[in-house]
Structure 1
Amino acid sequence: MASATSEKKYQLVVFGASGFTGQFVVEEIAKTFEEENKELSWAIAGRNMKKLQSVLEEAGRRTGKNLEEIPIVIADVSSESSLDEMCRDAEVVLNCVGPYRQYGHPVVRACIENKTHHIDISGEPTFLENCQLLYNQQAKENGVYILGSCGFDSIPCDMGVVFAQKQFPGDINDIECFLKILIGPEGGAANTGTWESAIEGFAHVHELKEIRKRLFPVRLPKPDYRIAKRSLVFKSSDVEGYNLPFVGSDRSVVTRTQYYNYNEKKSRPVQMNVYLQVTSILALLYFFVVGIIFGILCKFSLGRTIMKKFPKATSLGMFTPSGPTRKQMAGCSFVMTMVSRGFETKLSNPVEKHEKEPTKKMITTVTGPEPGYITTPICMVQAAYTLLKKDHKIPPGGGVLTPGAAFAETDLIERLQAKNIKFTKVE
């Protein structure tokens, strides 16, 4: 850990604690901080004292912990001085305030300037990649780690690739990832904060071409064996049901990790595609209709306004202001099936060509509880604990990093296993 952060008042500060996801992050810390260090100092931060007090009361009631003495910090993204004050006192800020395109940059800048590490749970590629482009050098100069996408987007997928690479006997050529969300008898939903982040990300996806051109001026070497091209909807012998492209941030995060590994570790890049797995025609039609509505309305400012104002109607019930109930979350889970194909042998030079086609196949899975508000807080908090470890094996020097780049050599996977997010080799 950078020495500049060693004398901060708080090791962790949850910023945006009164938001829907922030509440669950606070509860996760309350449940687990004694396992890490009984002396761990932490605080919560946000705009409204009364709401923040209610967060601690609710977290205390849910976890059975006495949280009356947990400090509250008043901070607002519109107030640079309040962000500076929060960051001066924090070793690590867990930023739960989204959409990050709108609210993330001031927090990242304040963290870097005050030599504070930053962890977020963004699933917005334009924000994540622009952060790397804008702040990587300054973060390194200040010895600060800016770690994005440390929730369900995209720790299970990115660390799932890390796990697969460690299990595979030779070189992996490509991975097809199939995500299946299992909904319990109570049904399921998501909070509108997630919906708004998705709207912002999709509306500005055209910006990625220029960002990536500047961020990666030298492209990865072209693979001799391209990952399989799939139709819009297809079946696979490796998983049941129908599969369609998954438009989340997982693929973009994994790609950034592959760039890091190739440039810094001289390792062979892995190609990846991510698909959403559904098991019925009805579910398939539902996602198609939501996708069409989303794609059309996102193109226009008025359409985006309508989606934000009427999230339940425009998402056909998927996103609501109240989000899922606790019972709905308890009945929900996910399965991420990763089908790796590659070569029997491993070559030390990443651009050296294999003499034979990739014929070896391996299947691994990442499984866990409800992704948005159970798995995400677990991932975020365990990432923070890993960062706080004095003997961690995170790449030295700071910078803007993906989970796979930051945590590949740490014990993060083992930590997640202990929290019921399981990484398994199937065959």
Structure 2
Amino acid sequence: MSRKYKIVIFGATGFTGELCAKFMSEKYSDIPIAIAGRSLEKLKKIKKNHGLPFPIIVADAFDIDALEKMCKETEVVLSTAGPYHKYGSDLLAACVKNHCHYVDITGESFWIKDMIEKHHKEARDKGLRIINACGFDSAPSDLGSFYAVNQVVGDVKSIQCFQAWKGEASGGTMETMFSSMDAKLAKRGLGKFSLNPKNSLSENQKKNTNDRIKVQEIPKLGGWTGPFVMALPNTRIVRRSAALSKSVGKHYGNDFVYSEGAYYSKKSAAKKMSFITLALGLVIVSPLRKLLRGFFRKPGEGPSQRAMDSGFFKSRFLV
């Protein structure tokens, strides 16, 4: 595949897209990259503000002709334009149709399920790579589990992941959380194995896979666990990877079971944050979400540089 660009960053005028474009210009300025979005003026602005060496492509998420033209010019589309159930479907379809690899940072399990059902077979037959969930959800969980499995000789029966973090959500992330409920779509991704291929489960997996993480001590790690806000998409991604692993010679095990929770050093913190996590979940699924949406960041907004600089995550895996 030889095309004008190696990578097109789609959604480059959004909060995360701008960060991505800036990072790529600092680390990979020698690679043919373009930035894309619907607003020429905004694209020009971020190009000027950061001194980006990248050409500009104007393409609206709903302009199929523009999307297909863009996909024909690049080897990979890196999309940061969410919510993906609103802005991602036509783009992914254009990538598959025009032999273009695709990467995104979605955490929308229901949308991923929809895209798998529509495009997996064609993408596989064409040798394309469609890689969803490459942000905090779900790269640490997926890559960490893959690494852990490869440290063990033989099949792995289970992995428990415990996440510690400090950070703030962008406006795009908040919009995704609220709009998913408005669209009544999220329930499609709630099943424990919603992203698994058909007929990929053992009886042990069906019986022993549990997403209900309660506050409890983890003696081996010297801490406590409780519900983790991103566990739902992360667990579905890891379980799909495990199910697909046999085809690439990295088999996790026929009875592999994966669970994920938060990690806290103290019981009091585990109880407090678990309550907050559950309360936020209840608000998002209730009619109150429309009233409360205005109190959270809007799309295009995000944490300060200081907040990002002090942020971190640490993923622990028990095999």
Shorter-chain TM-score range: 0.7 to 0.9
- Relative to structure 1, is the Cα distance of residues 320 and 75 closer, same or farther in structure 2, using a 3 angstrom cutoff? closer
Deviations 1:374-426 (A, max 9, x none): xxxxxxxxxxxxxxxxxxxxxxxxxxxxxxxxxxxxxxxxxxxxxxxxxxxxx
Please tell me the residue identity of whatever aligns with 1:85.
K
Question: Structure 1 residue 208: deviation in Å?
Answer: 3.0
Deviations 1:203-246 (A, max 9, x none): 53322368967963314112399468976211111234431122
Tell me which residue corresponds to 1:147.
131
Q: Distance in 2 between matches of 1:205 and 1:135?
A: 20
Q: Distance in 2 between matches of 1:142 and 1:253?
A: 22
Question: Structure 1 residue 311: deviation in Å?
Answer: 1.7
Deviations 1:251-290 (A, max 9, x none): 1000101111246648314211110123452564244235
The answer as to whether partners of 1:243 and 1:276 remain within 8 angstroms in 2 is: yes
The answer as to whether partners of 1:19 and 1:96 remain within 8 angstroms in 2 is: yes
The answer as to whether partners of 1:149 and 1:155 remain within 8 angstroms in 2 is: yes
Aligned: 1:20 with 2:10? no
Aligned: 1:161 with 2:145? yes
Tell me which residue corresponds to 2:34.
43
Q: Secondary structure at the match of 1:150?
A: coil
Moved more, 263-272 or 209-218: 209-218
- Relative to structure 1, is the Cα distance of residues 123 and 107 closer, same or farther in structure 2, using a 3 angstrom cutoff? same
Q: Secondary structure at the match of 2:2?
A: coil
Q: Distance in 1 between matches of 2:289 and 2:188?
A: 17
Aligned: 1:334 with 2:316? no
Q: Distance in 2 between matches of 1:232 and 1:215?
A: 25
Q: Distance in 1 between matches of 2:170 and 2:241?
A: 29
Aligned: 1:308 with 2:293? yes
Percent identity between the aligned chains? Answer: 27
Aligned: 1:272 with 2:270? no
Please tell me the residue identity of whatever aligns with 1:43.
A
Please tell me the residue identity of whatever aligns with 1:242.
W
Q: Distance in 2 between matches of 1:275 and 1:173?
A: 18
Question: Structure 1 residue 140: deviation in Å?
Answer: 2.7
Tell me which residue corresponds to 1:374.
none
Question: Structure 1 residue 169: deviation in Å?
Answer: 3.1
Q: Secondary structure at the match of 1:196?
A: helix
Please tell me the residue identity of whatever aligns with 1:276.
A
Tell me which residue corresponds to 1:425.
none
The answer as to whether partners of 1:95 and 1:119 remain within 8 angstroms in 2 is: yes
Q: Distance in 2 between matches of 1:119 and 1:245?
A: 28
Q: Secondary structure at the match of 1:223?
A: helix
Q: Distance in 1 between matches of 2:62 and 2:9?
A: 17
Tell me which residue corresponds to 2:5.
10
Q: How does 1:318-397 map to 2 (within 5 A)?
A: 322-340=301-319
Q: Distance in 2 between matches of 1:104 and 1:289?
A: 30
Tell me which residue corresponds to 1:218.
199
Decide which structure has the larger Cα Rg and report it: 1
Q: CA RMSD, aligned part only?
A: 2.8
Q: Distance in 1 between matches of 2:274 and 2:299?
A: 17
The answer as to whether partners of 1:130 and 1:211 remain within 8 angstroms in 2 is: no
- Relative to structure 1, is the Cα distance of residues 227 and 124 closer, same or farther in structure 2, using a 3 angstrom cutoff? closer
Q: Distance in 2 between matches of 1:201 and 1:279?
A: 32
- Relative to structure 1, is the Cα distance of residues 228 and 116 closer, same or farther in structure 2, using a 3 angstrom cutoff? closer
Tell me which residue corresponds to 2:225.
243
Q: Distance in 2 between matches of 1:261 and 1:25?
A: 29
Aligned: 1:93 with 2:72? no
The answer as to whether partners of 2:9 and 2:34 remain within 8 angstroms in 1 is: yes
- Relative to structure 1, is the Cα distance of residues 189 and 266 closer, same or farther in structure 2, using a 3 angstrom cutoff? closer
Q: Distance in 1 between matches of 2:292 and 2:63?
A: 28
Match of 2:60 among 61, 68, 76: 76
Please tell me the residue identity of whatever aligns with 2:5.
Y
The answer as to whether partners of 1:23 and 1:55 remain within 8 angstroms in 2 is: yes
Please tell me the residue identity of whatever aligns with 2:204.
P
The answer as to whether partners of 2:43 and 2:56 remain within 8 angstroms in 1 is: yes
Q: Distance in 1 between matches of 2:190 and 2:168?
A: 32
Q: Secondary structure at the match of 1:118?
A: strand
**What is the TM-score normalised by the length of structure 2?**
0.87
Aligned: 1:196 with 2:180? no
Q: Gapped runs of 5+ residues in structure 2?
A: none
Please tell me the residue identity of whatever aligns with 1:165.
V
Please tell me the residue identity of whatever aligns with 1:99.
P
Tell me which residue corresponds to 2:98.
114
Question: Structure 1 residue 89: deviation in Å?
Answer: 1.1
The answer as to whether partners of 1:88 and 1:116 remain within 8 angstroms in 2 is: yes
Tell me which residue corresponds to 1:255.
239
The count of residues paired between Structure 1 and Structure 2 equals: 311
Deviations 1:162-211 (A, max 9, x none): 111111234321111000014xxxxx522121112233456533223689
Moved more, 203-212 or 24-33: 203-212
The answer as to whether partners of 1:23 and 1:59 remain within 8 angstroms in 2 is: no
Tell me which residue corresponds to 1:31.
26
Aligned: 1:130 with 2:78? no
Match of 2:214 among 224, 228, 232: 232
